[in-house]
Structure 1
Amino acid sequence: MGVILAAAIATWTAPPTGYLSHTKAETITSKSNLPLINKAVGGQALRADLKSTSLQLATLMIVPSPKLDWPSQRRSSQQELLDLSLTELRGGKAALPPVYLNRFPADLTSLNSPQLRKDIFIKTVLPLVLRANSEVRLERQRMLALIQRAQENSAADDLTPPERAFLARLAAEYEVPETDLAELRQRVDVVPASLALAQGAEESGWGTSRFARLGNAVFGQRTFRKGTGLVPLRREQGQRHEVKAFNNLYRSVRAYVWNLNTHLAYEKFREKRASFRNGGLPLDGYALTGTLDRYSERGQNYIRTIRIIIRHNRLDEFDDMRLLLDAGARQPS
């Protein structure tokens, strides 16, 4: 499969359905006990001694375990991530290390440089998006292989009980009837990094919003379950929604991907994505943004904003990127 086995990662349990909608960023000035940013970000970058192009790194294989618990990986390497040069990363002279931060750095809101805040946001969220996509990509690869085999033999009986159980679990997770394989194919797929980064930047104020700082809420996901989120300071009288809070940033990213892949409001997004797949074309985050008119009450204005963020910050350059192979990873036999 050409897939590299990384350190063991727990499987993810789908959160309750929640409509992802825009919530105006609420910034805070209070400090947490998180590690401070080294103000010399942009110093010596991580050099990748690779024989092939740095932007075409192998994806990670996710090793299942009973429950999800996402402690920060490789804590000693957090500064390695924050010191990474995005210029060198874009130019193929550096590779993205598999370092996953639980929270945004504590002094992100106090930085005077808007560009520095943007760079740190990208370096924090991009590895999480790529890891979430790695999980989904591996599920998709196995799913497509099983569906093809079953169709070639004109019967699902050709599949083993564990293989049928895998498809049944996937259908349940993505809220699709087990017999609707066409819909399952549309739902089990990745989200372009450019789109995820742009939406996260807009929804969280580049990681500085109150929701991002206190609740690890990167994408402004609403919840109507009282006590599971943060109450917006400017919530209108009579409204009951909260902005869903998460134990760590990865849970927020994974919930975002799951919502785009399952919620009825994003059916046009999934259909457009499938059209790229059917045409053998790479996914285009800028084009897919045009299908998300129901993501925000701002409608077309929101779409224009996300597209401006993608273009102005050259986020499309991250769409083909993969994580640097973990030093302890091994090639599966």
Structure 2
Amino acid sequence: MKLIIILLSSVLFLKAEFIAGFDEYYYTLSIKEKREVFIKKISALLDVSFKEIENEKEFVESFFKEAMKNNFRKLNTVAMQKLWFLKEKYRVKNLYDLQEYRVRIQKVPKSLAIAQAIIESATGTSRFAKEANNLFGEWTWGEKGLIPKERSEGKTHKIRIFNTLQESVDSYLLNLNRHNAYKEFRAWRWSAISQNKKLDGKEAASHLEKYSEIKSNYTKLIVSIINQHKLNELD
């Protein structure tokens, strides 16, 4: 999010500016060229998100290592506040449930994330991508959001607006890491990690049927995109 400082009548305001994810030149490219640029862009954004996740994982491991030395007595106040923040962020029920932090604070296969971004944003050309920086079709029920043109009667959801593409990528990962709908996905991922197995995007897709209303066909679509662009090489 880019912050702009506005000075008005000696009062300081911070305004968040919407930054379109792709410039006009991007939309003049051929389909093949768009895909190449898009894949590189999302891969770079994922690297930023993954770095933050790694930092959070390191903090959790360090916190519990130190806490166990003193049987959780005389805990550092600042560290406790950060742990509480992560508890709320990842919706961990028990503050001291180390295993649950380990299961939830993890990366996802790059091939999976990029394939989903291609599908959900039409390679960055959808209305939601252009007007909301929304790469993964995330919904909201708040005041801020785009109303889908084909929203069924009686439905109240909106398409969530992000100020940058990075925010959209961060939110997508957090969604997979904490929403109850993706508990099966997290269980599969932790099993693979525990066995030192590679996190395979195509295998991961089989555990994300709840991400889309087309269910098993969504899995097939993800696998098709991964194969078409050889995205598994990025895992």
- TM-score (norm. length: structure 2): 0.86
CA spacing shift, 1:117–1:279, aligned 2, 3 Å: same
Task: Identify which of 272, 284, 294 aligns with 2:200.
Answer: 284
Structure 1 residue 257 displacement after superposition: 0.8
CA contact (8 A) 1:218 1:253 kept: yes
1:128 aligns with 2:62: no
Tell me which residue corresponds to 2:23: 105
| AA in 1 matched with 2:198 | P
| AA in 2 matched with 1:105 | D
Structure 1 residue 134 displacement after superposition: 0.7
Query: Which stretches of structure 1, 4 residues or more, deviate above 4 A after TM superposition?
Result: none
Task: Identify which of 143, 152, 177 aligns with 1:261.
Answer: 177
Structure 1 residue 157 displacement after superposition: 2.2
Tell me which residue corresponds to 1:309: 225
Structure 1 residue 215 displacement after superposition: 0.9
Tell me which residue corresponds to 2:210: 294
1:218 aligns with 2:135: yes
CA contact (8 A) 1:129 1:253 kept: yes
SS in 1 for 2:73: helix
Structure 1 residue 123 displacement after superposition: 2.1
Structure 1 residue 130 displacement after superposition: 1.0
User: Equivalents in 1 of 2:107, 2:17: separation in Å?
Assistant: 20
Task: Identify which of 92, 95, 104 aligns with 1:176.
Answer: 92
CA spacing shift, 1:134–1:102, aligned 2, 3 Å: farther
CA contact (8 A) 1:146 1:159 kept: no
Tell me which residue corresponds to 1:23: none
User: Equivalents in 1 of 2:106, 2:226: separation in Å?
Assistant: 21
Structure 1 residue 70 displacement after superposition: 9.1
CA contact (8 A) 2:109 2:200 kept: yes
> Map of 1:27-38 to 2, 5 A cutoff?
none
Tell me which residue corresponds to 1:146: 63
Structure 1 residue 251 displacement after superposition: 0.8
SS in 1 for 2:209: coil
CA spacing shift, 1:257–1:305, aligned 2, 3 Å: same
SS in 2 for 1:229: coil
Percent of aligned positions with the same letter in both sequences?
Answer: 34
> Map of 1:43-62 to 2, 5 A cutoff?
none
Tell me which residue corresponds to 2:79: 163
Per-residue Cα deviation, 1:208-246 (whole angstroms, up to 9, x for no partner): 1010011111000011123x1111111122211111111
Per-residue Cα deviation, 1:20-62 (whole angstroms, up to 9, x for no partner): xxxxxxxxxxxxxxxxxxxxxxxxxxxxxxxxxxxxxxxxxxx
| AA in 2 matched with 1:274 | W
Per-residue Cα deviation, 1:99-158 (whole angstroms, up to 9, x for no partner): xx85112243343x221110111122211111011101111122123224434x372226
Q: Which has the higher helix share?
A: 2
Question: Gaps spanning 5+ residues in structure 2: where?
Answer: 3-13
Tell me which residue corresponds to 1:187: 104
User: Equivalents in 2 of 1:135, 1:189: separation in Å?
Assistant: 10
Question: Gaps spanning 5+ residues in structure 1: where?
Answer: 1-8, 11-66, 72-100, 320-333
- How many residues align? The count is 222
Per-residue Cα deviation, 1:264-295 (whole angstroms, up to 9, x for no partner): 00111111111122112232222111110100
Q: Which has the higher strand share?
A: 2
| AA in 1 matched with 2:21 | R
CA contact (8 A) 1:174 1:261 kept: yes
Task: Identify which of 157, 160, 167 aligns with 1:251.
Answer: 167
Per-residue Cα deviation, 1:310-331 (whole angstroms, up to 9, x for no partner): 1211112222xxxxxxxxxxxx
User: Equivalents in 2 of 1:272, 1:102: separation in Å?
Assistant: 35
User: Equivalents in 1 of 2:203, 2:135: separation in Å?
Assistant: 22
SS in 1 for 2:159: strand
Structure 1 residue 159 displacement after superposition: 4.4
User: Equivalents in 2 of 1:293, 1:242: separation in Å?
Assistant: 21
Tell me which residue corresponds to 2:156: 240
After the TM superposition, which of the residue ranges 156-165 and 125-134 deviates more from structure 2?
156-165
Tell me which residue corresponds to 1:22: none
Structure 1 residue 206 displacement after superposition: 0.6
SS in 2 for 1:156: coil
